[in-house]
Amino acid sequence: MASTNDLKNGTVLKIDGQLWSVVEFQHVKPGKGGAFVRTKMKNVLSGKVVDRTFNAGAKVETATVDRRDMQFLYRDGADFVWMDPDTFDQVTIAEATVGDAANFLLEGATAQVATHEGEPLYVEMPASVVLEVTYTEPGLQGDRSTGGTKPATVETGYQIAVPLFLETGTKVKVDTRSGDYLGRVS
């Protein structure tokens, strides 16, 4: 248990049997009446964001979420097998838990896996990853400066929009949050 006065961004609370991560908080002391804490919280599993207000000093239940870097080993059907590089323990995580991170995962890649009481909650990828373009239509002469884009498939099978001048075999940096092309990598 903790007090609402101890809240900070990233704190995980257990409310009504669900885990909520504090995204924003603000202590408010109006001129009249008691102080309160206004929070914006995100459901750890569903991603739903809600606003919630607590009385200042009220007790809330905190949850221990263990975040550790793990290495992706391989895909086993619909599951993903991960290894803790410190203990060499292997963990199998369902596709639903991995979510959109699956679009950017290569064997041997490292990502942060969050667990609560041994149960995997989510996988957090680095902000960007480097992937190789495995297929894209060839660019036409004169298309170099038009600023247009074309679809390209990267080595994970995910499709992104790239500038017209890129060719198959080019390594590109991709934003893992939005799937946007960020630039070429030499």
- The pLDDT of residue 142 is 60
Q: Which of 67, 155, 66, 78 is nearest to 109 (CA)?
A: 155
φ, ψ for residue 4, nearest 5 deg = -65, -20
- For residue 148, pLDDT over 90 is answered with no
CATH number reported for the structural domain that contains residue 175 in this entry: 2.40.50.140
- For residue 138, pLDDT over 60 is answered with yes
Q: Are residues 44 and 31 in the same domain?
A: yes
Q: Are residues 19 and 54 in the same domain?
A: yes
- The C-alpha atoms of residue 96 and residue 105 are separated, in whole angstroms, by 14
Cα 143-149-152 angle, rounded to 5 deg: 110
Q: Span 61-87, mean pLDDT? A: 92
For residue 11 the two structure tokens come to 């704190």
- The C-alpha atoms of residue 103 and residue 151 are separated, in whole angstroms, by 15
137 touches 150 (CB < 8 A): yes
φ, ψ for residue 102, nearest 5 deg = -60, -25
Q: Are residues 21 and 34 in the same domain?
A: yes
- The pLDDT of residue 117 is 86
- For residue 173, pLDDT over 60 is answered with yes
pLDDT band with cut points at 50, 70 and 90 for residue 165: confident
- The C-alpha atoms of residue 57 and residue 32 are separated, in whole angstroms, by 17
- For residue 39, pLDDT over 70 is answered with yes
Q: Are residues 81 and 100 in the same domain?
A: yes
pLDDT band with cut points at 50, 70 and 90 for residue 140: low
Total of domains in the chain = 3
CATH number reported for the structural domain that contains residue 34 in this entry: 2.30.30.30
Q: Are residues 33 and 9 in the same domain?
A: yes
- The C-alpha atoms of residue 186 and residue 173 are separated, in whole angstroms, by 10
Range of the structural domain that residue 17 is part of: 2-60
Q: Which of 14, 45, 60 is the last residue of a domain?
A: 60
